[in-house]
Amino acid sequence: MQAGIDPGPLGLSAGCRSERLEQPVPLRPPVPRSTFPGIMPRIPGFPGEYLWELDMARTQLLPLAEAAPELMYGWSLAPRTRSFSAILVHIAVGNFCLLHLAGVRTTTGVELYGELQPDGPALRLSMVRKNMAMEQTVTAKKDVVDLLRRSLEAVQYTLADSSAETLDEARTFFDEETTRRRLYLRMLVHTHEHMGQAIAYARTFGMKLPWPDPLAGLQNSPEQMPADRMPTV
């Protein structure tokens, strides 16, 4: 892990809604787990729909990162492509970067990017450079898994703690007027995009994916789907 970063619990400041660290807003407690392994029960409205989709990524990405052998962390498909560890770090710092641009303070985000500034080319360039450096320097499996877990929890807890009014707040993202909600959507899309990349790396490396095949139960139901057309997960 990069020196000088002390994430604290979940890598979050106490004031996830507030623009000021001096005025903390307590986080909600963890949502109870559902009977479906690893997936949280829905909460009402957009936050519940969002968190359900985020959990789909979390319950695959973290087991994949934990099950991957240390040797695989330095492996890449080809020259000039990200290593497996860099893919996971890219997801993690992407989440912290987007939270920072959304005006949501996390301990890790402040340590990485400093005090919040108006969005502009100089700020964006410095954040991109910092993220690229992290991809090259945070490479040990333990540190990568820890950073990835904290980033997903930061998105989860701050979104769950957001009101409709908070999500409607105007933000600027790459010179475009948008909302905080759109930045959260970008985190979700970006996470799923690179989770697919990480799964492709794992398959190419020859790794067995560390979760059950959700279609396995259909293999004994030929009337529902022919065996030779059964997809693999």
Q: pLDDT of 40-72, one tens digit each?
A: 566 778 999 999 999 999 999 999 999 999 999
The predicted-structure confidence for 139-171, as pLDDT tens digits, reads as follows: 999 999 999 999 999 999 999 999 999 999 999
Is the CB of residue 123 less than 8 Å from the CB of residue 172? no
What is the pLDDT confidence band of residue 12, given thresholds at 50, 70 and 90?
A: very low
Instruction: Please list the alpha-helical segments (H only) found in 75-212.
Output: 84-101, 107-113, 121-137, 141-160, 164-167, 180-205
What's residue 68's pLDDT? 97
Within a 13 Å sphere around the CA of 167, how many CA atoms are in the beta-carbon half? 16
167 contacts 102 by C-beta, under 8 angstroms = no
Query: Which pLDDT does position 199 carry in this prediction?
Result: 96
> CA-CA distance, 222 to 17, in Å (whole number)?
51
Looking at the chain, the whole-number percentage of residues with pLDDT higher than 70 is 72
pLDDT category at 176 given cuts 50, 70, 90 is confident
d(CA 51, CA 55): 6
Positive or negative torsion for Cα 24, 25, 29, 31: negative
In the predicted model, what is the mean pLDDT of residues 201-207?
95
Q: Average of pLDDT values for 29-47?
A: 57
Share of the chain above pLDDT 90, in %: 56
Instruction: Determine the pLDDT at residue 189.
Output: 97
For residue 168, what are the contacts with CB-CB under 8 A and spacing of at least 6?
179, 180, 181
Query: For residue 124, what pLDDT is reported?
Result: 81
Read off the tokens for 91: 């997801």
Q: Which residue has the tokens 């540190």?
A: 143
d(C-alpha 90, C-alpha 76), whole Å: 14
Report whether pLDDT(202) > 60.
yes
d(CA 72, CA 141): 9
The reported pTM is 0.76
> Does residue 8 register a pLDDT over 50?
no
Please report which confidence band the pLDDT of residue 178 belongs to, taking 50, 70 and 90 as the band edges.
very high
Which pLDDT belongs to residue 231? 52
Q: Residue 144 is encoded by which pair of tokens?
A: 């990568």
Q: Give me the amino acid identity at 213.
A: D
Count the helices and strands in the chain (H runs, E runs).
8, 2
Tell me how many degrees the CA angle 153-191-46 measures, rounded to the nearest 5.
70
Q: Do residues 108 and 7 touch, judged by C-beta distance below 8 A?
A: yes
Going by pLDDT thresholds of 50, 70 and 90, the confidence category of residue 174 is: confident
pLDDT tens readout for residues 70-118: 999 999 999 999 999 999 999 999 999 999 989 898 888 888 887 766 5
Domains, the chain: 43-229 (1.20.120.450)
Average pLDDT along the chain: 80
What is the CB neighbour count within 10 angstroms for residue 197?
Answer: 17
